Amino acid sequence: MGFDLSPRSQTSGASRRRLARWLVGSPIKDIERDLVLETLAKTDGNRTASARLLGFSIRTLRNKITEYSADGVDVPPPGGLT
C-alpha cells in the first residue's frame, strides 16, 4: 500500500509560508503533535508509513504515541481499527 501524502507535492511554498505565519506563537510541541496525529489519521493508523512521511524513525513515532496516549490524547489505532 503506497501513500502519496508528501506535503511538498501537495502544497506550494507560498502556502507553507502562510501556514507558518499563522502558526507563529504556537508551541512547537503542539504543532508536532497535531502533525503526527493528522498523519496517522491520513494513513489509517499505519505507523510505518506515518514515520516515513514525518521523517521519524518508527521508534521515535512509537515514543511520541506513548507520550500522547499518557497525556490522554486519542491516537488513531493501527490499521484504522476503532
10-45 pLDDT per residue, tens: 678 888 889 889 889 999 999 999 999 999 999 999
DSSP 16: H
Q: CATH assignment of 26-80, given 1.10.10.60, 1.10.3720.10, 3.40.50.410, 3.30.160.270?
A: 1.10.10.60
pTM of the model: 0.78
Mean pLDDT of 2-8: 56
What average pLDDT does the chain have?
Answer: 88
Task: Assign 57 a pLDDT band (cuts: 50, 70, 90).
Answer: very high
pLDDT of residue 70: 97
